[in-house]
């Protein structure tokens, strides 16, 4: 530029638009230069490795139709830097949709290197595997995971249901004996919330 002032580079190559926010909030973890030792997964997941968990949630379709779901999961690994979680979930889809009741099998491994976009996630949805870079922002009681560009998943549902959906953001909020997972979805699928309890 003519005056010698350079524009700010996007954080770790991820623009605010890719992160889903146009501002960069002040984060306690970033101020401390946090990595896995300073900001371990156990801060956000109150269950040790090997814990069996019960999951429950609900999605509201068409602004008035609730679709509850529940299932069982397991914390397969929990270290400072790695979280492995697997779960099988069945949704109670109303009969008007004429969709067979099937369990969805989900597993993921998220490796936390530090704040920003140096983290990786490997997902398996009903055996379909994906790997993705993940932007992570952490505060003392919440961890936000944002896959740049979204994480697209096949639904395997019959028409007119959408053939693909995309996750924009996942927020983990630790409670005393549970984890609340807020999932931000791309349109037309509404956002929803999942709670995981120790069995």
For the chain, give the secondary structure using H, E and C.
CCCCCCCCCCECCECHHHHCCCCCCCCHHHHCCCCCCCCCHHHCCCCCCCCEEEEEEEEEECCCEEEEEEEEEEEEEECCCEEEEEEEEEECCCHHHCCCCCEEEEEEEEECCCCEEEEEEEEEECCEEEEEEEEEEECCCEEEEECCCCEEEECCCCCCCCCEEEEEEEEEEECCCEEEEEEEECCCCCCEEEEEEEC
Residue 17 CB-density burial (10 A; 0-12 exposed, 13-18 middle, 19+ buried): exposed
Average pLDDT score over residue span 139-163: 78
Q: Taking the alpha carbons of 127, 78, 198, 173 in that order, is the dihedral positive or negative?
A: negative
* pLDDT attached to residue 199: 85
Tell me, yes or no, if the pTM score tops 0.85: no
pLDDT of 184 reads 92
Domains and CATH numbers, the chain: 31-198 (2.40.128.20)
Which pLDDT band, with edges at 50, 70 and 90, does 176 fall under?
Answer: confident
pLDDT at residue 120, rounded to an integer: 95
**pLDDT value for 188:** 79
Using one digit for the tens of pLDDT, what is the confidence trace for 75-114? 999 999 999 999 998 877 655 555 556 678 889 999 999 9
Q: Give the pLDDT band of residue 11 (cuts 50, 70, 90).
A: very low
Q: What is the mean pLDDT of residues 158-180?
A: 83
Going by pLDDT thresholds of 50, 70 and 90, the confidence category of residue 136 is very high
């Amino acid at each position: 530029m003519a005056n010698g002032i350079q524009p700010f580079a996007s954080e770790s190559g991820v623009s605010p638009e890719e992160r889903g926010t146009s501002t960069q909030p002040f984060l306690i973890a970033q101020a401390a230069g946090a990595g896995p030792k300073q900001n371990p997964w156990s801060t956000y997941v109150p269950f040790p490795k090997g814990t069996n968990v019960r999951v429950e949630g609900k999605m509201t379709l068409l602004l008035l139709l609730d679709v509850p779901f529940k299932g069982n999961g397991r914390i397969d690994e929990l270290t400072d830097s790695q979280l492995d979680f697997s779960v099988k979930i069945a949704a109670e889809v109303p009969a008007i949709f004429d969709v067979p009741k099937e369990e969805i099998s989900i597993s993921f491994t998220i490796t936390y290197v530090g704040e920003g976009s140096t983290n990786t996630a490997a997902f398996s949805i009903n055996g379909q595997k994906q790997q993705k870079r993940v932007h992570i922002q952490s505060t003392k009681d919440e961890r936000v995971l944002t896959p740049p560009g979204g994480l697209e998943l096949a639904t395997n549902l019959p028409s007119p249901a959408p053939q693909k959906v995309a996750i924009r953001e996942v927020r983990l909020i630790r409670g005393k004996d549970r984890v609340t997972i807020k999932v931000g979805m791309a349109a037309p699928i509404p956002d929803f919330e999942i709670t995981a309890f120790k069995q």
